[in-house]
């Protein structure tokens, strides 16, 4: 699997969901706010981590859910450092994404099981 415009669009959607400052912007505006090259570098880092942690056969819905969950982990980690969570601080700290995800879900990424954090659990049926 390779980094695609669809993946970049899913990343922008997750950013818009998690960051109020960009929630009303269109994709081109989000990318220009970050800078094309910087956005691409961040997207490649996220893509690589996601592929290493889950494999390459994720559906679009799974990818979207995982991006949202991973960005929430990074945002939470940035907040614990008493740094305001903005589009700039997210991309400044994108290299910390694997660490932030590992703090929230220890060992899942390394074991290739990150997909399990979004998979619904089966509920026991009432008898």
Task: Give one word for 86, left, alpha or beta, with left for phi > 0 and alpha for psi -120 to 50.
Answer: beta
Q: How much is the pTM?
A: 0.89
Q: Do residues 62 and 116 make contact, with C-beta atoms less than 8 angstroms apart?
A: no
- Termini Cα distance of the chain: 44
Residue 125 within any structural domain of the chain? no
Alpha-carbon gap, residue 55 to 6, rounded angstroms: 17
pLDDT tens for residues 116-127? Answer: 888 766 556 665
Domain that holds residue 93: 5-116
pLDDT tens for residues 43-102? Answer: 999 999 999 999 888 899 999 999 999 999 999 999 999 999 999 999 999 999 999 999
Residue 121 within any structural domain of the chain? no
Residue 127 within any structural domain of the chain? no
Fill in the DSSP letter of residue 85.
-
Output the CA–CA distances (angstroms, integers) from residue 63 to 48, 51, 119, in the order listed: 12, 10, 12
Residue 106 within any structural domain of the chain? yes
The structural domain count of the chain equals 1
Residue 122 within any structural domain of the chain? no
Residue 60 within any structural domain of the chain? yes
Residue 126 within any structural domain of the chain? no
């Amino acid at each position: 699997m390779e980094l695609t415009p669809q993946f970049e669009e899913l990343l922008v959607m997750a950013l818009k969901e998690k960051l109020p400052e960009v929630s009303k912007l269109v994709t081109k505006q989000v990318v220009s706010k970050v800078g094309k090259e910087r956005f691409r570098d961040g997207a490649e880092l996220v893509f690589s981590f996601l592929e290493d942690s889950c494999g390459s056969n994720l559906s679009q819905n799974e990818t979207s859910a995982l991006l949202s969950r991973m960005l929430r982990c990074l945002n939470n980690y940035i907040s614990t450092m008493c740094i305001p969570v903005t589009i700039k601080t997210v991309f400044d700290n994108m290299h910390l994404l694997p660490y932030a995800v590992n703090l929230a879900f220890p060992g899942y990424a390394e074991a290739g099981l990150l997909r399990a954090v979004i998979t619904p659990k089966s509920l026991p049926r009432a008898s």
